[in-house]
Chains A and B, each alone.
Chain A
Amino acid sequence: MKANKPLLLGILTSLCLVSCAKESLPEVAIFIYDSQDTFMLSLQESIQKKLSGKFASSLSYAERNQVQQTLAAISAIEGGADALVINLVDRLSAGALIEKAYQEEVPIVFANRKPLMSDLDPEKKSDYASWVKENCFYVGSYPLYEGATQSEIVDSFFGGPEGFAASSYDKNGDGIVQVAVMKGEQGHQDAEERTMACLQKLEELGYSYQLVATAYGNWERTAAFAETSKFPLDEIELLYSNNDDMALGVIDFLKTLLPGGNGFISESFFPIVGVDATPAGRAAVDDGNMIGTVINDAAIQSEWIGYLLSELLLSEELPPVTANVVREGNYFYVEGGIYSSF
């Protein structure tokens, strides 16, 4: 027995060391709504890069199934995760997940899909409400900025309303821009706000426009490809896409109409502007198939997700917001930039 004591002590110490080593890195569970969304994949990679060293992270994809995501989140909450980063499938589920997380006091940072105002800022005063205000945040792009920036790209491209009216892009020569919008998802705040903002900005910049077609491309290249076939292509003089993937879907369809699949889309059909600046989107801009795209800055978004987690779990001070970050309560919006040759 005496001989065993040092051995036992050694085992215990090493066990403790192992567990202590594990303890020193808080566990963050990351949930992504779909493993096929190009932008979300780049955001996810960026988040993981930002978290590495400070946190131990796990990852799960919901494949657009909210039930699956909810169950995975519950098992993470009950399994002792220290914080969750959730890119929701259905933004209306945020409330239930926050309620569940509150039971174990696990903070949540939502990414990309914005919870309702009433979810992150409950009206009723209660322990729950104050906990939520201190522990639940949203970090995402700034759709109003992105929509407006899309129109700024358009403005640079056309060279002002007069430039447009004088150019061959005004197909019917009426001086009014016939606009089509490829929307992301009905009810998605980014889709609606980007669309609203781009049209408003276009008007502010002095253009007259007419909305000739809208479609929901579900953020996907293939869905957008299918939707494009329903567009009155001859009438359209400008196409806004809520993201690059769908813009590429539109381009894919238009290319099928070109002999040999070659030629500049802008010249043959109409200018297209996207959002996100994914690698494929940037390539399309470089090829001249897209006049530009607004950078949805995954790097800065994930940086702020990292800041928030460090504040929540490691009690680090949150840095002051920089010029490209807008904070509204528990919502952090990140402004990107322009990726365009115009």
Chain B
Amino acid sequence: MRKPPKLKTLLILPSSALFLLLVAILTGAAFFIYSSNVRDSSYRQMEATSEQVLRNYETYFASAVQVSDGIYARYSDLAPDDVASLPSYFDTIIELKPEIISVSIYSADGGKPLAKNTSSSFSINAAEQEWFLRAIADPYINVFSQGASSEAVPYSFVLSRFLVSDVDGGRDAVARIGFDFTQIVETISPVSLGEGGRFIIYDRDYETIYASNSHELEQALSYVKELVVGSTTIYFGGHNYYLYSMTISNTTWRVAILTNIDSITTAISTFAIAVSATAIVMVVIFVVFVVLVANRITRPIRLLQREMSRVEGLAYESYLATGNAGSREVADLSHSFENMMKRIRQLMDDVVKEKEEQRRSELKALQNQINPHFLYNTLDSIIALIDRGEGEKAQRMVVALSRFFRISISRGHNIIPLKDEIEHARNYLLIQKMRFGDSFDFRIEKMEGLDGLYVVKLILQPIIENSIAHGMKEGEPGSILIKAFKDEKFLYLAVQDNGYGMLKDKLEALDASMRSRESYQGVGLKNVYERLRVYYGEEADVVIESEPDVGTKVTLVIPLKGAVQNEGK
């Protein structure tokens, strides 16, 4: 199973994610609304401006067409004799319309010059000129063509028109009207198109008639060609443009207006940056805030958690600083934990005390296992001595027995001075020696400086009893050596005999049974070992050394620090 996420993560992640999402939506919406509003309104404005420019040009071309219409109408019902009246009519036109440079007409059949205004001259080889051919090809329209370079003005165009003679079909003609375009493009063309902005008039083959800015004109025209008509936004030469392109009515010409919209793009990107920055700041503030709140909530819980895991590691002494609980629930929780810990500590103390009690009673029980047969046997020996009239010996034995028991009882103390314990051992040995008719000797060697040490009582006697029972060779004088000495850490009490000794196997079996946890009563060695361990702990030990035919040595190892203090009871 997956581990559930941390509380802090749960508090921070979802709320931050939600906030981020909301801010992102808000930012996106704001950006979308702003940019589309700005675009819409400025494009609408530009479209309106562009349409106004287009209308101005259409009005201008319409007035040009009006002149052509006038000539057309006049020619359509013109009597053959009246052709001579045309030059003065043309002169009048030029007087009224200063933008008109020349007016002339040519016969449709062959391009023969028919009439012209006074100040201009006839077009040479009219029948081969484009304006003438196109007028013949589309007889019902006004044909606009780019002016001949021969005209003495920078921008000019030619309006040519097929003239139908309603009077006589054979007299159809073509009119050619030359216009000076210069002044009008300068007056009508919009000026505020921005850097790189331009105004282009071009024909259906995308040949430029007029361009207010010829820089990168090819490129601009390629975009115009791509658009055909309508409006769009384009980017070239490092600038953004709004491109409006439309046909000019009455002509086959079109107009393209490129307005620089860098400022709009800049405004939108500035807005985008500002909004994004605000959004980021908002998110950061929110996250920091949430982290702080989450910390405030989770820190006490984390502390609690840490303390609890320490308790799991059996450290029951933990305390909590409940003052910084963060919230009431956590404060209550900490308080309960505290109470629980107090209770646990109390229970632990109780358990320790109980253990102590148990140890004492165990010790008592073990000490009380002194073999009562020893008493009966000794009393029997005394009776025998008295029977044999060895009163003095019997007296010595009674004295020894008396001392032996005095120390055994020691007024109920468990711990007695080391010299008393040794005295106790000596009395025991004396009694046994007398009983067994001096079949063994014993010696007690005691190191200097052992005064003031205390030991658990009755620990030597069971070992000595073993030595007498198992360590004596038949028919050989036995010898038992009791040694008491110490080093820096331990007090050693050794009982050595010169008996049969033990084979290694037996020695190991004995050692194992002594250390085994199974309790079976009555074996003196195990009894001593257990009492030492109960009282002095793990450091205390009983070491058995033995060699067949040489003897056995049992050493009690007692930690000094346990031996220096009296139990006081």
Contact = CB atoms under 8 A, between A and B. Distances in A.
A90 B247 contact: yes
B343 interface: no
Given A67-B246, A95-B204, A214 B138 contact: no
Given A74-B229, A117-B137, A199 B166 contact: yes
Contacts of A117: 137-138
Given A92-B141, A214-B73, A70 B250 contact: no
Interface of A: 66-67, 70-71, 74, 89-93, 95-97, 99-100, 103, 116-118, 181, 186-189, 191-193, 195-196, 199-200, 211-214, 216
B566 interface: no
Given A66-B247, A71-B230, A186 B252 contact: no
Contact of B169 (A96, A200, A211, A212): A200
Given A70-B247, A93-B247, A117-B137, A196 B164 contact: yes
Nearest to A179: B166
A95 B204 CA distance: 8
Interface string B343-370: 0000000000000000000000000000
A132 to B, nearest CB: 13
Given A67-B51, A200-B169, A92 B228 contact: no
Contact of A103 (B72, B140, B228): B228
A186 B164 contact: no
A90 B167 CA distance: 28
Given A97-B229, A214-B73, A188 B167 contact: no
B76 interface: yes
B140 A70 contact: no
A113 to B, nearest CB: 11
Contacts of B54: 67
Interface string B262-295: 0000000000000000000000000000000000
A215 to B, nearest CB: 9
Contact of B140 (A93, A100, A118, A188): A188
Contact of B167 (A91, A92, A211): A211
Interface of B: 51, 54, 65, 69, 72-73, 76-77, 137-142, 164, 166-167, 169, 204, 228-230, 246-247, 249-252, 254
A199 B139 CA distance: 17
Contacts of B138: 116-118
A189 B169 contact: no
A92 B76 contact: no
A96 B229 contact: yes
Given A100-B230, A211-B76, A187 B249 contact: no
Given A92-B141, A100-B229, A187-B142, A211 B166 contact: yes
Given A92-B141, A99-B228, A211-B76, A187 B252 contact: no
Nearest to A191: B140
Contacts of B246: 67, 70
B166 to A, nearest CB: 5
A256 B521 CA distance: 154
A96 B247 contact: yes
Contacts of B251: 92
A89 B58 CA distance: 14
* Most chain B Cβ neighbours within 10 Å, of A89, A186, A193, A199: A186
A192 B172 CA distance: 13
B141 A195 contact: no
Given A67-B51, A188-B140, 18 more contacts: A70-B246, A71-B230, A90-B249, A91-B141, A92-B247, A93-B249, A100-B229, A116-B252, A118-B137, A187-B141, A191-B140, A192-B164, A195-B164, A195-B166, A211-B76, A211-B77, A213-B77, A214-B166
Contact of A96 (B72, B139, B250, B254): B254
Contacts of A74: 229-230
* Most chain A Cβ neighbours within 10 Å, of B51, B72, B169, B252: B252
Contacts of B230: 70-71, 74, 100
Contacts of B204: 95-96
Contacts of B141: 91-92, 116, 187
26 contacts: A66-B247, A90-B249, A90-B250, A92-B141, A92-B252, A93-B247, A95-B247, A96-B204, A97-B229, A99-B228, A100-B228, A100-B230, A116-B141, A117-B138, A181-B166, A186-B72, A187-B140, A187-B142, A188-B140, A191-B140, A192-B164, A196-B166, A199-B166, A200-B169, A211-B77, A211-B166
